[in-house]
Amino acid sequence: MGFLLWIGIVTIGFGIYYWKKIYDFCKERHRFIKEVDKFPGPPAMPIFGSTLLFKWNVAEFTDQILEWGSIFQSEGHGLVTLWLGPFAIISTLKPEEAKVVLESNTVITKGKEYSIIQKWLGTGLLTSTGDKWRSRRKMLTPAFHFNVLNSFLRIYDGEAEIFVEQIEKYADSGEIFNLFPYIKRCALDIICETSMGTKINAQTNPKHPYVMAVQRLNELSFDYMRFPWNWIKPIWYATGKGGEYDTCLKLVTDFTRKVIAIRAKEFEESQSRGEIFNFDDADLVAKKKLAFLDLLLSVQKEGKLTEEDIREEVDTFMFEGHDTTSAGMTWTIWNLAHYPEYQEKVIEEVDEIFGDSNRSCTHDDLKELKYLEKCIKESLRLYPSVPFFTRSVEEDFDLNGRLLPKGSTVLVPPFVLHRDPISFPNSSVFYPEHFSQENIAKRHPFSYVPFSAGPRNCIGQKFALMEEKAVLSQFFRNFRVESEMPWEENSACPEIITKPLHGCPVRIIRRK
């Protein structure tokens, strides 16, 4: 009898304990939904949220997101809710709200949607948070010192020349071809040499397994993010996508580890010869052709990084540093192919700086490419390389008097912000004068955030602009570009990176 009584007491105790847990969960969930429902948004159903409304076709999904954004912007809403399954995404549609989020020192943890990328990048600079992120950011800043970036110009220029050689065969043939893969391979070669100090020759070896695996990882990651049922492991693996992701992931990370091991051995040998690596010494940086990986290896010597830490950061820069710049350059060429009057201004500027010479591009040249820079920035306005930034709300957050409840995700969408007609008159067309000094001064500074802003802004934005100006100036020194496909037909696909649906089908005409 005593035993049965004891069992009964334990059972009642467990029941009370779990009832209390369930009660607390339901109470908190009710509060959460009540707060989130204060914001307008697309229709949502229990469990599925708004996902059943999503267009499966990526181009149609893009139009859908822009249409929703435009409707709520026109109604004057600064915040809207999108239910991604049972998860609430609160999106900022006005620069005033985006400013509060991006400048916050408390809402700095990336959203749950980044979890799939975390398998690849670990907790490197992109995905880490808190004290780890702050220390990494401080540690990595010297890799983007003026001296280091200037030393990379020889790489930008050298790979741009190979890029021109690769597409020369299409010049004057009248043939329409897809320029996007050529630009992407050029950017991949640049980031490999600048971040890892190694050449993979993707431009001359387009079927390189690393190139193919990185491309597929991006596609699978976007598919995972868009549909929450992929977050259930059995479903993810039952579709075959989970296994394919793991295979590509192993190939990419094994490649990175191999390169790091080779570079680390060279680093050790140089250290044993008494050589010192100083990223503040411009001559040494240029002479030694120091790469981002060399900075990490020197920090490792101080006991601040493990081998896996280095792998995470190298893969982070490989991921962030080639897809983003290749997309930016592709959209710039695509836009100029359809706006010949602006293309002529770019060509006039390039000719004024370089004349008929074949000389290399210098840092002073980059500073003079002011109209080209306007075109790049306008392309990033219409087609920001990173279409969305998300942050996890880990504690209730006051956003201009509106409560964002703990457990929600706040989203800043440059893809929508940049098309607000209040900030950008003629927002739906390509107009480089949006970036005249006069027009920049008129608008809110957070109306244009292609590289994010605030404490978590992109550490590599100067690197990206320098690379794009160097490669594009080389392109327009050699070619004019045309396209037969209507401008608006090549929809933007806001995957992890904003890519053109049809690539970049163009015709190039030799100038020299």
Distance CA(323)–CA(497), nearest Å, equals: 7
Pick from 222, 299, 232: which is nearest to 264 by CA?
Answer: 299
Three-class DSSP category at 171: coil
Residues of each annotated binding site: 458
Q: What is the CA radius of gyration of the chain?
A: 25
User: H-helix or E-strand containing 88?
Assistant: strand 87-92
Phi, psi of 478 (to 5 degrees): -110, -30
- 180-191 and 209-226 helices, crossing angle to 10°: 110
* Burial group, residue 390, by CB count within 10 angstroms (0-12, 13-18, 19+): buried
Which parts are annotated binding residues for heme?
A: 458
Which tokens sit at 325?
Answer: 């710049």
Cα(192)–Cα(167) distance, rounded to whole angstroms?
Answer: 21
Read out DSSP for 398-449?
A: EETTEEE-TT-EEEE-HHHHTT-TTTSTTTTS--GGGGSHHHHHHS-GGG--
Residue 328: both structure tokens together: 């930016």
CB 509 within 8 A of CB 171: yes
Characterize 22-35 residue by residue with b for buried, 16 or more Cβ atoms within 10 angstroms of its Cβ, and e for exposed: eeeeeeeeeeeeeb
- Tell me which residue of 52, 34, 14 sits closest to 396, measured CA to CA: 34
- Phi and psi torsions of 62, nearest 5°: -60, -50
Q: What are the φ and ψ backbone dihedral angles of 48, each rounded to 5 degrees?
A: -85, -20
Give the Å distances, CA to CA, from 455 to 109, 130, 361: 12, 12, 32
Beta 87-92 vs 409-412: how paired, if at all? Answer: parallel
Q: Tell me which amino acid residue 207 is.
A: K
Distance of CA 161 to the CA centre of its chain: 26
Pairing state between β 479-482 and 505-510? antiparallel
Identify whether the C-beta of residue 107 lies closer than 8 Å to the C-beta of residue 454: no
